[in-house]
Chains A and B, each alone.
Chain A
Amino acid sequence: MTQPGAVTAPQPHVAHQSHHEELGFWRQYVFSVDHKVIGIQYAITGLLFLLFGFSLMMLMRWQLAYPGAALPLVGNLFGEARMPGGTMLPEFYNELGAMHGTIMVFLGVVPLAVGGFGNFVVPLQIGAPDMAFPRLNMASYWFFFLGGVTMLASFFVPGGAAQSGWTSYTPLSVLAGTGQTMWLIGMLFLITSSLLGAVNFITTIIQLRVRGLTFMRFPFFVWTQLVTSFLLLLAFPPLQAAAIMQMMDRVAGTSFFMPSGLVVSGQVLTAAGGGNPLLWQHLFWFLAHPEVYVLILPAMGIVAEVIANNTRKPLWGYRSMVYSLMFLGFMSFLVWAHHMFMTGMGTAMAAFFQTTTMIISIPSVVILTALLISLWGGSIRFNTPMLFALGFLPMFGIGGLTGLPLGFNVSDIPLHDTYYVIGHFHYVVAPGTIFALFAGVYYWYPKATGRKMNETLGKIHFFGSLVCMNVIFMPMFLMGLAGVSRRLFDGGETYAFAQPVLHLNVVSSWGAWILAIFQIPFIFNFFWSIWKGEKTDENPWQATTLEWAAPSPPPHGNFLEPPQAYRGPYEYSVPGAARDYTPQHEA
């Protein structure tokens, strides 16, 4: 509408003058506007939060395996208010549980998958010099950082961090201590960060793709980031609204989520009442179901890249994967109340939501099946990224299939809030998403550093983790089927019916601690390879997509010459071609 002679305006550029050589340390590594630096900042912060969230969990696993026993060695470090004599108090367990969930989801996986890989890889894969709004990009990292600091600081306020689960259900959370207010402030920062990021990603992908890169020539990873960004853009604001209302309930004494005549410890509450506690659940899950796709879609994208590259074959059914992805993104807004079958919503509503849930499982199965068939007839290279990608397929498969009984009203009622649910979604996010993220780290590491990570250490990391993950999470299904509830601070010790399965808690816990040991090779490898890893050229995996046309590591601005796309993303083993791969940028 505007552009009075827009195309003919070759004015000098005021904003981004290119004297990047002269940037000082702070502008280059800390307050950088380069998407690659920001991506690496996101990735490293995300990895640290994953480690932290995992450490919280290792503490909890002690209490679950040996309820009431004093924690040796480190038990006394947590103070009398949390672990008197080294024994965990229930309040501390709740703190750990709520913060484990929150940190893993919002500060670990999403920042690594979207902020980290999305930022680093997407502009390269579409041949762009940077993101569309570099300064906004920096702002979104720093909002995320503030959110993280707020969450960490909440451990030190009186009464400790949030204790109402990562779901913060009302009215419990409205009545909880100061930590919950910190949680809400932290979430507002994180939501702001995600919104800025989502706007930036969508604009970048639509506007900055190079000549010849049509939508159907996008690498699948770019597609997953595009759909993910739409989910973040449209699903987070309702949680923002909910967080604002919960904040009002807590700080201004309103009753959005407070029913009339609520009695707490024998006292009728004085709040005005008339609110609706279930409203919170609706708004929360309206975000949080799309959020689980935010956790899984980028992972699928990484796995697709790695599989195409290491089978030396085009992806099977690329188009059906893309259409499934779009359908999945759309449907993910229509299934949220399958988390609420227990709230007495009535059979008509339950029927609606279980139907949409069954429908949404179809595109996920299509994508997984297409990836599986892609393996057929390939001459597979079993390097570390590929092992993690291959591990992802059955693990995500188990997670997905065990989700079906939770999507049916009838079978969800006995399973709801048991360890079966914990087992189900951890198969999706831990050996599923986390494996895919590891695959991504090993796969794109040479692009970021110019060196490969060590293969032997990588294989130890993979096989050790694969075994441990199953030792941890498989028993949870059995415990859940036996009826053991989640969020029990003693692991079910006081219930008669839980007695036959209690020993599984011990198995699961040892699995978690040994899993920690198997992460040491990774951490070591990650740092050691920066200096000592095998040096590589710009395309060590003989890959086809555009990021491999840039130097490793790419300079500010990425490509020496702006590339152009001449073909689809996965032209491997083209009959008659000189090599078994034909890069997108080669005419």
Chain B
Amino acid sequence: MEIPYTFEVRRDTGLTNGKIGLWLFLASEVMLFGALFASYILIRTGAPNWPRGDTILNVPLATFNTIVLISSSVTMVMAWASLVRGSFATFRIYMGATILLGFVFLVVKYFEYSHKFHDGLYPSTNNFLAIYFTLTGLHMLHVAGGMALNAWFWGPGAKLWKTNPVWFTNRVEHSGLFWHFVDLVWIFLFPTLYLL
């Protein structure tokens, strides 16, 4: 049995199932991070004093990481665009680059974290650090999830390209939308935690 509109577009909605599903999922993600940002605001406004981010955190490293993630979004688009143009080989290269950049982000984050722990700064130290570790930790989980997804399409999932290129292209596009979302979250996190 076959589910309609898995890869072909439904006329009246103009969408595939996967596309709607992905946007709905992103809506729930917005609520998740939205709730955490709201909690941050409530706790910060209620605090008698609050450290500025750059007095505790490493702004240059985070700036570097911001550039890394934004570049990875660009390579992600290129990966998808290669598929649309029918060039699987360039897709492989750009997708590989996207995964690699995600990896660089995580490595930098690892050094930031271990430096904090080394200085005796833990989530339990104060609420600034509690928020910092919780938000960036959750974000890192999302980065890892996106990388896993992309790795799947780079590797074993790419078999689909041979049997159903349209569907495969759609799926890579969806993976890309998720990746852009993860990027976007970081673009909010960076100024909120490091600069304000």
Query: In the assembly, what is the distance between CA of A3 and CA of B18, in Å?
Result: 13
Secondary structure of the B contact surface, majority rule: helix
Query: In the assembly, what is the distance between CA of A15 and CA of B159, in Å?
Result: 12
Q: Are A279 and B134 in contact (CB under 8 A)?
A: no
User: What residues of chain B lie closer than 8 Å to A203, measured between beta carbons?
Assistant: 17, 20-21, 24
Least Cβ–Cβ distance between B74 and chain A, in angstroms? 17
Least Cβ–Cβ distance between A28 and chain B, in angstroms? 13
Quick check: is A267 within 8 A (CB to CB) of the other chain? no
Q: Are B46 and A9 in contact (CB under 8 A)?
A: no
Interface string of B152-183 (1 = CB under 8 A from A): 00000000100111110110010000000000
Q: Are A276 and B21 in contact (CB under 8 A)?
A: no
Q: Are B166 and A254 in contact (CB under 8 A)?
A: no
Most buried by B among A5, A130, A199: A199
* CB under 8 Å from chain A, chain B span 1-40: 1-10, 13, 15-17, 20-21, 24-25, 27-29, 31-36, 39
Query: In the assembly, what is the distance between CA of A576 and CA of B163, in Å?
Result: 54
User: What residues of chain B lie closer than 8 Å to A134, measured between beta carbons?
Assistant: 3
Quick check: is A75 within 8 A (CB to CB) of the other chain? no
Most buried by B among A20, A130, A136: A130
Question: B126, B133, B166: which contacts A11 (Cβ < 8 A)?
Answer: B166
Q: Are B84 and A256 in contact (CB under 8 A)?
A: no
Q: Are B43 and A256 in contact (CB under 8 A)?
A: yes
User: What residues of chain B lie closer than 8 Å to A70, measured between beta carbons?
Assistant: none
Query: In the assembly, what is the distance between CA of A14 and CA of B43, in Å?
Result: 51
User: Which B residue's beta carbon lies closest to that of A136?
Assistant: B21
Q: Indicate whether A274 sits within 8 Å of B35 (C-beta atoms), given known contacts A3-B166, A195-B28, A254-B134.
A: no
Question: B20, B43, B133: which contacts A202 (Cβ < 8 A)?
Answer: B20
Least Cβ–Cβ distance between B135 and chain A, in angstroms? 10
* CB under 8 Å from chain B, chain A span 9-23: 9, 11-16, 18, 20
Quick check: is B61 within 8 A (CB to CB) of the other chain? no
Q: Are A274 and B47 in contact (CB under 8 A)?
A: yes
Quick check: is A517 within 8 A (CB to CB) of the other chain? no
Q: Are A129 and B17 in contact (CB under 8 A)?
A: no
Q: Are A4 and B124 in contact (CB under 8 A)?
A: no
* CB under 8 Å from chain A, chain B span 42-56: 42-43, 46-47
Q: Are B21 and A133 in contact (CB under 8 A)?
A: yes
Query: In the assembly, what is the distance between CA of A11 and CA of B6, in Å?
Result: 12
Quick check: is A563 within 8 A (CB to CB) of the other chain? no
Q: Are B39 and A256 in contact (CB under 8 A)?
A: yes
Quick check: is A560 within 8 A (CB to CB) of the other chain? no
Quick check: is B96 within 8 A (CB to CB) of the other chain? no
Query: In the assembly, what is the distance between CA of A1 and CA of B177, in Å?
Result: 12
* CB under 8 Å from chain A, chain B span 71-95: 80, 84
Q: Indicate whether A9 sits within 8 Å of B125 (C-beta atoms), given known contacts A14-B164, A241-B32.
A: no
Query: In the assembly, what is the distance between CA of A303 and CA of B161, in Å?
Result: 48
Q: Indicate whether A132 sits within 8 Å of B134 (C-beta atoms), given known contacts A5-B166, A202-B24, A254-B127.
A: no
Question: B124, B160, B173: which contacts A2 (Cβ < 8 A)?
Answer: B173
Interface string of A230-251 (1 = CB under 8 A from B): 0001111110111011001000
Quick check: is A411 within 8 A (CB to CB) of the other chain? no
Q: Are B39 and A279 in contact (CB under 8 A)?
A: yes
Query: In the assembly, what is the distance between CA of A203 and CA of B43, in Å?
Result: 37
Quick check: is B67 within 8 A (CB to CB) of the other chain? no
Quick check: is A342 within 8 A (CB to CB) of the other chain? no
Interface string of A253-291 (1 = CB under 8 A from B): 111100000000000000110111001001100100000
Q: Indicate whether A274 sits within 8 Å of B126 (C-beta atoms), given known contacts A4-B84, A207-B17, A241-B32.
A: yes
Q: Are A253 and B31 in contact (CB under 8 A)?
A: no
User: What residues of chain B lie closer than 8 Å to A133, measured between beta carbons?
Assistant: 3, 17, 21
User: What residues of chain B lie closer than 8 Å to A165, measured between beta carbons?
Assistant: none
Q: Are B130 and A256 in contact (CB under 8 A)?
A: yes
Which residues of B pack against A, CB within 8 Å? 1-10, 13, 15-17, 20-21, 24-25, 27-29, 31-36, 39, 42-43, 46-47, 80, 84, 122-127, 130, 133-134, 138, 160, 163-167, 169-170, 173
A7-B8, A240-B32 given; name 19 further pairs at CB < 8 Å: A2-B170, A3-B16, A4-B169, A6-B9, A11-B7, A18-B1, A133-B3, A202-B20, A241-B32, A242-B39, A252-B130, A253-B122, A254-B130, A272-B126, A272-B130, A274-B126, A276-B43, A276-B46, A557-B1
A sample of 19 inter-chain contacts (CB < 8 A) reads A4-B166, A6-B7, A9-B165, A11-B163, A16-B1, A130-B1, A195-B28, A198-B28, A203-B21, A207-B13, A207-B15, A237-B34, A241-B36, A248-B133, A248-B134, A256-B39, A256-B130, A272-B130, A557-B1
Which residues of A pack against B, CB within 8 Å? 1-7, 9, 11-16, 18, 20, 128-134, 136, 195, 198-200, 202-203, 206-208, 233-238, 240-242, 244-245, 248, 252-256, 271-272, 274-276, 279, 282-283, 286, 556-557
- 3 closest A-B pairs by CB: A253-B124, A254-B130, A238-B35
